[in-house]
Structure 1
């Protein structure tokens, strides 16, 4: 018997215009994935229609951050402990800043 583990991240973001939440973004990221699907849920259609370019820009920024997290997970596991810790810290920092960056 042997234990196999994997790491995945549920990554979410919110796009706002002024004080209105217009859309939310979500994806799940796991090491070795070749593609992560980003979903977008529009919560205020009228504001979205009036601000499509801005919300789509937030969506693109969200995708870029998700790609960076994916790249961090795909870093070879045989790196030194200090390198792995640095990658994990960078991933955590990027993940925690995503919601505010998507505003």
Structure 2
């Protein structure tokens, strides 16, 4: 019997004046595969300190994308279970 796992990986970056300030990653898994994760890496501390409001907004926007991915995985898992 074939068993599969669905996961979604998201990556993003917050930039100011075409310079990367922070990088974001998220991994979203279906129920059986593991725990979801969200990470922020500050690439330029000076720019981050000077632009916290912008970077925090980008971080929140990225988290919202992660939540959408969680809903997508959850909905596809329910659909898959219902059709079996």
Give the TM-score category using the shorter length. 0.7 to 0.9
**Higher alpha-carbon deviation: 35-44 or 14-23:** 35-44
Q: Structure 2: which 5+ residue stretches go unaligned? A: none
Q: How does 1:1-103 map to 2 (within 5 A)?
A: 2-32=1-31, 36-75=36-75, 76-78=78-80
CA spacing shift, 1:68–1:35, aligned 2, 3 Å: farther
Higher strand share: 2
TM-score for both structures, normalised by structure 1? 0.69
TM-score for both structures, normalised by structure 2? 0.83
How big is each residue's C-alpha offset from its partner over 1:2-58, in whole Å with a ceiling of 9 and x where there is no partner? 221111011110000111110000011112279632111111110000001110110
Task: State how far apart, in whole Å, the 1-side matches of 2:43 and 2:37 are.
Answer: 19
Which 4+ runs in 1 deviate beyond 6 A?
none
Task: State how far apart, in whole Å, the 2-side matches of 1:55 and 1:40 are.
Answer: 10
* Number of aligned positions between the proteins: 79
RMSD: 2.0
